[in-house]
Chains A and B, each alone.
Chain A
């Protein structure tokens, strides 16, 4: 009996998988035909079942074509945190950001920071994890070389390789940690409609400034039900109504 239920659940999973692929193909062809709304609906229903960077990316494209820039940005952001190394996703996100009213891009960092960030974002957590395992293998191989090779030259080389591999293992695991943190980070949100940022969490609060739709903000205090505190890359902070923003 137990086996039977196991079998049916397995079949169900398989069916979902197969239909999932088919639905995606249908949605892709709908996108080609220019029926972006229908395609978006299928992608959204697929996303309820599974969580895939490409689905978010395709959904973002549909919204972009429908001139719904804020939803496009939201979905591109979701795609990028799931597959940080994908160039197409990053490109479309940066392109969509240029269509928003507030252009608060945080790219004017010091170039080393920018460079380091782009290195960390070259792969996702699993990509870095795999690289770390490869480097661990290299580390052990060079340890063997150091222990058993006779000529001094070869021993020197394997010692150097071992030290480098050791550093790489630690570094790549650190990158993987950062990526994993980014992946499940819910502290950022996209502004969905133009909002007024206030000094206190109430409509009577002083109006600090306006934010337009499509802007990415960091949520710094989410303890209240209807309001949350946000901060911008340029350091400005304030309170906004929770319903007007959507978490990535």
Chain B
């Protein structure tokens, strides 16, 4: 605990070393009424005051109380930085006795061996016919020196008690020259509420000045009377038409609170009946006429800007290439109708492809008009390399301060266009693209996918691979067995007998047409013999008539067929080995018979096999 105090003390001591310059600051309200109480304060930003001058009398004021002394001390530590401040205030309560302008006495003090003198404070004391007491204080808004009209007691308010004035800072202006329109409320009654619409301003471009939501009233003299007054609303207007433009009168609706003298305050307190009542009052703000002069004969390249401006231009792309965009930026800064400036023409070289300039304005409303800048981007595309000059840009505006047109001119610019990578074709294509329209929306039905619904690289995807691979394995096994079967010669012979002999028959038919009888019979014989040999699995060498008969019987071939087979075989053999061969009729007959025979045999043997 003690340690802490020591540290605190140390902090205080170290803080006091870095002390600001010592001053005495006097403060008092700037305007007071006769009979009003207010406070005059002298603040010394130190506590080590050795001696201070006191005031016993002030001309034109009565000192009701004072001096009262109060001290203030604070130590602050933010992020390790310790700051301390302390002050002593000497206050006097005064009441004004005579109207006029007064200077409050300056006092001197000895602070830490230094002599300091206070600053000068001026007070204006307003005269008043009816010095009402009551709500005393230093705030002007609640000052009581404003005369309360005698009619208040009856709840009637005349136009002299509550009214609104309309003023324009200029009544005779040029077209587009900003005007500040002010609605000011004057009141001698206790105005609690006020509401009004914005005037319907035809022929003006109007912007409302944002004023604080909380209105603070001050005291002002108007036509020899004192009023509470405040600026109710302000508009900055840019006339768009010429001639006498009328700002129409508008109506405000206010609510005024009165003290009811007929009600006994004690009675009111116990009966819950307040001693005040409210009245509605509508106030008409008068109309105002503004004479708008047309601008003198406009030059052809007039940009429409009215006010005071400066311009600046620069290339945003200092090293352009062929078929790439050049961005030339023009910045117009100043006060006036910034938003309404038309982009001045830039005469790009003829070869350049130009586009509409892009305008962006950034401005703030001030009571002198719009203050800010307008940035204009000029876009152009050079198609060939080389050195080009962009001529100076003329910006013509109307200067309201001198009442004439002024021309601002930028310096001409030289640009070197380097050889580009992109060919002209793509630039043309891009141009063509820019002129076309978007394609139509998709009207078909849609699948309501979810973001993770991609099939790829999910287990299912690789499963498909596995399935395909399994199918492959199955196909492999089947095909492998098939090849093994093919390797079984005997088995294949049995099954392929019909086909083999058919092929032999086909060959025989060809030979028949070629009149090669010898070979024909040979082929027919081998067809017949080969068929039997393959079908019944008997080597050709063992094929005797008896063996064939026996085997056919076993295979269930009818006797008739086997006999016919054997006779056919005999006939062929005899023809084959005889010299009598030149009868075409016989050969074709033999061919047909052989074909029939093989067919019927195949049918029977196949059936039997099954």
Contact = CB atoms under 8 A, between A and B. Distances in A.
B448 A94 contact: no
A101 B438 CA distance: 18
Contacts of A52: 446-449
Contacts, number: 105
B188 to A, nearest CB: 51
B590 to A, nearest CB: 36
A31 to B, nearest CB: 6
B448 A92 contact: no
A92 B436 CA distance: 10
Interface stretch (A57-65, A153-161, A196-204): A57-65
A51 B449 CA distance: 5
A242 interface: no
Nearest to B472: A140
Interface in A104-142: 107-108, 124-126, 128-129, 133, 136-137, 140
A58 B442 contact: yes
A31 B441 contact: yes
B325 interface: yes
A94 B433 contact: yes
Interface stretch (A4-12, A143-151, A220-228): A143-151
B456 A95 contact: no
Interface in A158-182: 176-177, 179-180
A148 B487 CA distance: 13
A55 interface: yes
Interface in A68-101: 88, 91-92, 94-96, 98-99, 101
Given A17-B448, A61-B441, A128 B456 contact: yes
A143 B479 CA distance: 12
B441 A98 contact: no
Contacts of B445: 21, 24
A128 B468 CA distance: 17
A58 B445 CA distance: 13
Interface in B533-578: none
Residue with the highest number of chain B CB atoms closer than 10 Å, among A94, A129, A183: A129
Interface in B460-478: 461, 464-465, 468-469, 471-472, 475-476
Nearest to A99: B434
A88 B469 contact: no
Contact of A144 (B379, B422, B447, B475): B475
B5 interface: no
A143 B441 contact: no
B468 A98 contact: no
B484 to A, nearest CB: 12
A228 B444 CA distance: 39
B331 to A, nearest CB: 13
B358 A136 contact: no
Nearest to B443: A28
Nearest to A55: B446
Given A125-B456, A140-B469, A57 B433 contact: no
Interface string A27-66: 0100100000000000000000111101101100100100
A108 B441 contact: no
B438 A95 contact: yes
A20 B448 contact: yes
B36 interface: no
**Contact-residue size bin, chain A (C-beta under 8 Å from the other chain):** 35 or more
Nearest to B461: A129
Nearest to A128: B456
Interface string B404-446: 0000000000000000011000100010011011111111111
B377 interface: yes
Contacts of A180: 454, 456-457
Contacts of B421: 108
B610 interface: no
A86 to B, nearest CB: 9
B431 to A, nearest CB: 9
B483 interface: yes
B450 interface: yes
A50 B483 CA distance: 54
Given A50-B448, A148-B483, A91 B439 contact: yes
B472 A143 contact: yes
Nearest to B467: A133
Interface string B146-157: 000000000000
B476 A133 contact: no
A16 interface: yes
Contacts of B483: 148
A143 B473 CA distance: 11
A51 B461 CA distance: 21
B442 A54 contact: yes
B455 interface: yes
Contacts of B465: 133, 136
Contacts of A51: 449-451
Given A49-B448, A108-B421, A133-B465, A95 B436 contact: yes
Given A133-B468, A179-B456, 11 more contacts: A52-B448, A54-B446, A64-B438, A88-B442, A95-B434, A98-B433, A98-B434, A101-B377, A107-B426, A126-B454, A126-B456
7 closest cross-chain pairs (CB), A and B = A129-B456, A50-B448, A140-B472, A54-B442, A125-B456, A58-B441, A98-B434
17 contacts: A16-B448, A21-B445, A24-B445, A28-B441, A51-B450, A57-B441, A58-B442, A92-B438, A92-B439, A95-B434, A95-B437, A99-B434, A108-B421, A124-B454, A129-B457, A140-B468, A176-B457
Interface of B: 325, 358, 360, 377, 379, 421-422, 426, 430, 433-434, 436-451, 454-457, 461, 464-465, 468-469, 471-472, 475-476, 479, 482-483
Interface of A: 16-17, 20-21, 24, 28, 31, 49-52, 54-55, 57-58, 61, 64, 88, 91-92, 94-96, 98-99, 101, 103, 107-108, 124-126, 128-129, 133, 136-137, 140, 143-144, 147-148, 176-177, 179-180, 183-184, 194
